[in-house]
Amino acid sequence: MKVILLKDVKKVGKKDQIVEVADGYARNFLFANKLAVPMTERGLEIVDTQKKQVEDELLRKQQEAQVIADKLKDIVLEFSAQFSDDGRMYGTISTKQIVEELKNKHQIVVDKRKFVDHFLVNAAGYTRLRIELAKGVLGTITVFVTEKK
């Protein structure tokens, strides 16, 4: 029996793939667990509808991310840190601190794991960091570090 997979199934196939499986396996496992639908006109309609919903959701997320990216470009986060006599900074400004500062002062929520630049902010002055807000949408934030008096 030919079926259209709604989810990835181990040793059978990936989502949206059309595969040939035994009739009993299809009825008793795949259909019962809503992992697949029969390959009929209705089944193809279901898959097309799901693909459309996923594409619409992705487009919506990209638009929201673009709005956030436009806000981020104007924001400069200021941090103060201690420096040694030779100008080296004690410690670093972590992505967690940057995310918390964005959330507290600007009400913008981003994931600390989405930072593209994986270098540490450990020097005085301006540092620009890129954040992947959604697939294909990058935002840039400026971090300014001053010496704590």
> Nearest-CA neighbor of 17 among 4, 30, 35?
4
Task: Identify the structural domains of the chain with CATH numbers, from first to last.
Answer: 2-61 (3.40.5.10), 67-147 (3.10.430.100)
Confidence band of 22 (pLDDT split at 50, 70, 90): very high
CA dist., res. 27 & res. 101, Å (int): 53
pTM (global) more than 0.85: no
Whether the Cβ atoms of residue 124 and residue 89 lie closer than 8 Å to each other: yes
Model confidence pLDDT, tens digit, residues 25-42? 999 999 999 999 898 888
Q: How far is CA 7 from CA 1, 24, 125, in A?
A: 17, 19, 49
CA dist., res. 140 & res. 129, Å (int): 6
Q: How many other β-carbons are positioned within 10 Å of the β-carbon of residue 19?
A: 17
Tell me the average pLDDT of the chain: 89
Model confidence pLDDT, tens digit, residues 101-130? 999 999 998 888 888 877 778 888 898 999
